[in-house]
């Protein structure tokens, strides 16, 4: 990935619109070269990735960007009714070609549309398009003929051929009502069944071949698409519940009774692991999944996971679809403190087929990285969409603030902080001030003003009370005082939650 910095000199830049925003998502991630490189490898080779680092440095951004570098999903997954054992539906995987072939077949089975004037007059009358009195045509929704004011529709069976139609219709399993008329037509020596159906202001014509196709399709076991072909290959499972993560079979108060209830296959719902099939499953704060981590482990191992009703009290609990595919790339994220609580077999599974990355919290302060910071500012402004561009001078103040924070928070000299969510917040606050002032650009004054406003509340407390401890003793209740936290961190430098 080349940096646009090579051809840019600062003198060309008047404001953030002169900074080029890369079109490819991973190039938008600044200051994390190792994570970006490994994300590309993970996408290409389908490996897992564990991103370790503090909040707001681009973990989610990298995970999402990675999903742009993998091929589009090729498979659709369906659950199919199992007539022998409805509580054990099958699953079926369909490729894109199979699906388009099926669609073609369906469209063949749809017959063709015809103008009501092109079908036999008696049929047009029975479908409600033609007035039997005056022979004029009008919409079937008009019960009385707009031309002669007589009533257009006759009840079924009342027409001169009513009985004949009904007999033929019954033989072909079609009801003869006003939406559908069964008739015959001569093809050479023999006569052929033909069905006319109301289709809005048109008539759908189904000949014998089409009817045959329809019947064949209807004979197939019914199925339900649980994972469509056209889906987002990036699935977020942060904080997912067990059912969200692994899928479920919904409850049916009629216990799947054939007439009253909903058939089991229709109640099957996929989980995030299945939705991420062929894509990326992203789990932020992976340790918060607790025990569910071991299911992820199984899913990764088997590349499939059964879907079953997860509530033992529910009628769904007796339903199970075995080995539903879930071949995903796992991208997990956590902070350094949580590293030890990742289930160790899961971690070994990630390492055994993937990479672990320790994210950078700061990058060195040099011209190239200052250019990247400007790129970051331009990106934030463009994705926000509600604030004007930022002047070159104002961007320099943001960069200086980045440098100050690297020093205070990350304890790094001559560096620029990469805790960029917070820096993005600063850009937005400055932008809002510019908007309220009606300025076309975010100017240095706006950023300075934002810096005053955009302080973590601890900092604001310190400014009004001197230090946190003073604030505590004057404002806190006894129970809060017991919290070690408030006594431990008397300065922002010591406070790990300050970014
Ligand atoms: N390295 C980066 N390059 C460019 N922009 C970044 C970077 N890191 C963060 N940002 C900006 O900050 C926002 C928040 O980042 P992101 O959601 O990726 O953080 P995170 O590391 O996943 O944080 P958390 O641990 O809180 O989920 C991004 O949407 C992006 O606008
Ligand atoms: Mg995140």
The reported pTM is 0.76
30 CA closest ligand 1 atom index: 3
- Range 42-89+223-358 has CATH code 1.25.40.10: no
pLDDT at 3 over 60: no
Q: Nearest ligand to the C-alpha of residue 51? A: 1
Q: 288 alpha carbon to ligand 2 midpoint, in Å?
A: 13
Nearest alpha carbon, ligand 1 atom 19: 56
Burial of 1 per CB tally in 10 Å (0-12, 13-18, 19+): exposed
Q: Which one of 58, 288, 375 would you pick to mutate in the ligand 1 pocket, going by the greatest count of ligand atoms within 8 A of its CB?
A: 58
Is 418 a pocket residue for ligand 1 (Cβ < 6 Å)? yes
Residue 50 structure tokens: 């564990």
What's the pLDDT band for 114 if we cut at 50, 70, 90? very high
Confirm or reject CATH 1.10.8.60 for domain 4-28+363-454, answering yes or no: yes
Per-residue pLDDT of 206-260, as tens digits, reads 988 888 888 888 788 899 999 999 999 999 998 889 999 999 999 888 876 767 7
Domains 4-28+363-454 and 42-89+223-358 share a fold: no
Question: Do 126 and 234 touch, CB atoms closer than 8 A?
Answer: no
- Which stretch of DSSP H or E encloses residue 61? helix 59-66
CA 53 to ligand 1 centroid distance, Å: 11
Alpha-carbon gap, residue 152 to 125, rounded angstroms:
8
Among candidates 130, 198, 201, 197, which has minimal Cα distance to 159?
130
Domain residue ranges of the chain, discontinuous segments joined by +: 4-28+363-454, 42-89+223-358, 112-206, 458-494
Confidence (pLDDT) at 477: 54
The set of long-range contacts for 409-412, using a CB threshold of 8 Å and a minimum separation of 24, is: 409/361, 409/493, 409/498, 409/499, 410/361, 410/362, 411/493, 412/361, 412/362
User: Which atom of ligand 1 is the closest one to the Cα of 284?
Assistant: 27
CB of 417 sitting under 6 A from ligand 1:
no
Which ligand has an atom closest to residue 64 CA? Answer: 1
Is 376 near ligand 1, meaning CB less than 6 Å away?
yes
Average pLDDT over residues 356-380: 97
> Which pLDDT belongs to residue 144?
86
CA of 240 to the centre of ligand 2 (A): 14
Q: How far is CA 383 from CA 387, 394, 422, in A?
A: 10, 19, 15
- Structure-derived torsion over alpha carbons of residues 380, 429, 54, 404, reported in degrees to the nearest 10: 100
Tokens 């620029």 belong to 416
pLDDT for the residue 497: 47
CA–CA distance, 11 with 454 (Å, rounded to integer): 29
Which pLDDT score, from 0 to 100, does residue 490 have?
A: 46
Identify which of 410, 420, 496 to mutate to test ligand 1's pocket (most ligand atoms within 8 A of the CB). Answer: 420
CA distance readout (Å), 413 to 181, 335, 374, 402: 84, 23, 20, 11
Q: Does ligand 1 come within 6 angstroms of the Cβ of 361?
A: no
- Between vectors from CA 445 to CA 439 and to CA 451, what angle results, nearest 5°? 115
Q: Is the dihedral of CA 185, 190, 195, 201 positive or negative?
A: negative
**pLDDT tens digit sequence for 298-353:** 999 999 999 999 988 888 889 999 999 999 999 999 999 999 999 999 999 998 99
CA 295, CA 277: separation in Å to the nearest integer? 15
Residue pair 212/173 in contact by the 8 Å Cβ criterion: no
| Distance (Å, whole) CA 27 – CA 48 | 20
User: What backbone torsions phi and psi does residue 392 show, to the nearest 5 degrees?
Assistant: -55, -45
Q: What is the pLDDT of residue 153?
A: 67
**What protein residues have CB closer than 5 angstroms to ion ligand 2?**
60, 284
**Closest of 72, 70, 4 to residue 41, by C-alpha:** 70
Nearest ligand 1 atom to alpha carbon 380? 31
Which DSSP string corresponds to 319-359? -EEEEEE---EEEEEE-GGGGGGS-HHHHHHHHHTEEEEE-
């Amino acid at each position: 990935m080349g940096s646009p910095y090579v051809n840019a000199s600062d003198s060309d830049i008047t404001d953030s619109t002169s900074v080029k925003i890369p079109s490819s998502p991973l190039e938008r991630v600044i200051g994390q070269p190792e994570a970006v490189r490994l994300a590309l490898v993970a996408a290409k080779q389908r490996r897992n990735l564990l991103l370790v680092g503090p909040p707001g440095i681009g973990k989610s951004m990298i995970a999402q960007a990675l999903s742009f570098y993998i091929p589009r999903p090729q498979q659709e997954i369906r659950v199919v009714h199992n007539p022998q054992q409805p509580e054990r539906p099958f699953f079926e995987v369909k490729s894109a070609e199979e699906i388009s072939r099926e669609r073609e077949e369906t469209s063949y089975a749809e017959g063709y549309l015809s103008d009501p004037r092109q079908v036999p007059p008696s049929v047009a009358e029975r479908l409600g398009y033609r007035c039997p009195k005056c022979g004029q045509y009008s919409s079937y929704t008009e019960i009385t003929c707009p031309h002669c004011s007589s009533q257009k529709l006759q009840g079924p069976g009342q027409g001169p051929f009513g009985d004949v139609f009904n007999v033929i219709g019954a033989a072909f399993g079609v009801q003869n009502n006003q939406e559908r008329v069964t008739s015959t037509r001569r093809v050479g020596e023999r006569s052929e069944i033909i069905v006319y159906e109301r289709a809005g202001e048109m008539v759908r014509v189904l000949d014998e071949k089409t009817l045959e196709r329809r019947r064949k399709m209807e004979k197939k076991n019914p199925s339900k698409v649980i994972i469509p072909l056209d889906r987002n290959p990036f699935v977020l499972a942060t904080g997912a519940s067990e059912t969200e993560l692994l899928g479920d079979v919904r409850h049916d108060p009629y216990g799947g009774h054939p007439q009253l209830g909903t058939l089991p296959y229709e109640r099957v719902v996929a989980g995030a692991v299945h939705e991420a099939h062929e894509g990326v499953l992203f789990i932020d704060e992976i340790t918060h999944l607790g025990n569910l981590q071991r299911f992820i482990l199984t899913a990764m191992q088997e590349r499939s996971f059964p879907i079953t009703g997860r509530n033992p009290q529910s009628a769904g609990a007796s339903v199970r679809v075995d080995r539903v595919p879930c071949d995903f790339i796992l991208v997990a994220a956590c902070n350094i403190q949580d590293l030890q609580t990742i289930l160790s077999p899961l971690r070994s599974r990630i390492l055994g087929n993937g990479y672990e990355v320790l994210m950078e919290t700061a990058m060195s302060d040099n011209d190239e990285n200052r250019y990247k910071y400007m790129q970051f500012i331009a990106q934030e402004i463009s994705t926000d969409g509600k604030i004007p561009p930022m002047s070159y001078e104002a961007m320099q103040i943001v960069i200086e603030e980045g440098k100050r924070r690297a020093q205070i928070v990350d304890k790094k000299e001559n560096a620029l902080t990469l805790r960029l969510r917070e820096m993005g917040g600063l850009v937005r606050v400055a932008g809002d001030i510019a908007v309220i002032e009606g300025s076309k650009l975010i100017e240095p004054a706006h950023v300075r003003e934002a810096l005053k406003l955009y302080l973590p509340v601890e900092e604001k407390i310190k400014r009004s009370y001197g230090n946190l401890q003073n604030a505590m003793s004057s404002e806190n209740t006894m129970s809060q005082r017991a919290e070690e936290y408030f006594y431990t961190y008397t300065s922002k430098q010591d406070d790990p939650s300050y970014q």
